[in-house]
Amino acid sequence: MRASDTHSTNKTSSSQKPTSQKPTVQKVMIAGPAGELEVEALWQQGDPQDASTDTVALLCHPNPLDGGTMNNKVVTTMQRFARDEGMHTVRFNFRCTGQSTGEHDYGVGEIEDAMAVLQWVHQQTNATQLWLGGFSFGGYVIAKVAEQMLVTPHIWGLSDMDVVKVVLIAPSVEKNDVSDLTLPTAKTLMIYGDDDHVIPPASMQKFAQDQHIQTHIIHGAGHLFHGFLTEIKDVLDTDARR
């Protein structure tokens, strides 16, 4: 995902140095299963088809009924991490959020929203590796997206995309049914705080044990991670270096 840090002693003339463009942000409305969806994409090198960028991050936000949007600070922390790792990044507003139309569907239609965005991403970019991240309600949705990509990618026309990481931050595993969820366990990381009063830490611990997934607990952090965004970034940075 990130260019090698290995340094070469060979000198290269200025005319031979590859040009580097700044990432560009594209804001667009796309067709979704229940209306239009508001999408924000960051393209490395200013080009969604940049040949040197092989990974795209898809990010999902918390419950819009509780004020969650794609601009949530935890989602933004993941987005900045992915950007700095050299990935394209895509975040979007679920139905009935921001400029997205439609009605809230309690985690059912929102999975379809995420898959529709992923299909759009597939049309825009040549990147074939997929980094999935979600927070709270978005953690549940992104887990279901990971399941779709693991079990039935052909149904969505996404068989040539490979999930390389799934990051679930304080996922809503108590208010949503995860009893039969199938995850790529070796590629999944869950992060939560031990002072979470929205999603009980015991529920998340049991979920991790049932799913056999790696977990990192941030001591003192509540559900919204006030004052702990740097710790989230540090966990992601450390995991990326494993």
| Span 63-81, pLDDT tens digits | 999 999 999 999 999 999 9
Where in the chain does DSSP place strands (E)? 24-32, 35-43, 55-60, 88-92, 129-135, 162-169, 188-193, 214-218
pTM of the model: 0.91
Q: How much is the pLDDT for 116?
A: 98
Q: Is it the case that residue 12 has pLDDT exceeding 50?
A: no
- The arrangement of secondary structure in 20-240, i.e. its CATH architecture, is 3-Layer(aba) Sandwich (3.40)
Q: What average pLDDT does range 200-208 have in this prediction? A: 98
Q: Is it the case that residue 16 has pLDDT exceeding 70?
A: no
Q: How much is the pLDDT for 19?
A: 62
pLDDT digits (tens, 9 = 90+) for 124-162: 999 999 999 999 999 999 999 999 999 999 999 999 999
Q: Give domain limits for the chain.
A: 20-240
50-69 in b/e form (b: 16+ CB < 10 A) is: beebbbbbbbbbbbbeeebb
pLDDT band at residue 203 using 50, 70 and 90 as cut-offs: very high
Do 216 and 236 meet the contact criterion of CB atoms below 8 Å apart? no
| Amino acid at position 125, single letter | T
Q: How much is the pLDDT for 15?
A: 41
Do 129 and 55 meet the contact criterion of CB atoms below 8 Å apart? yes
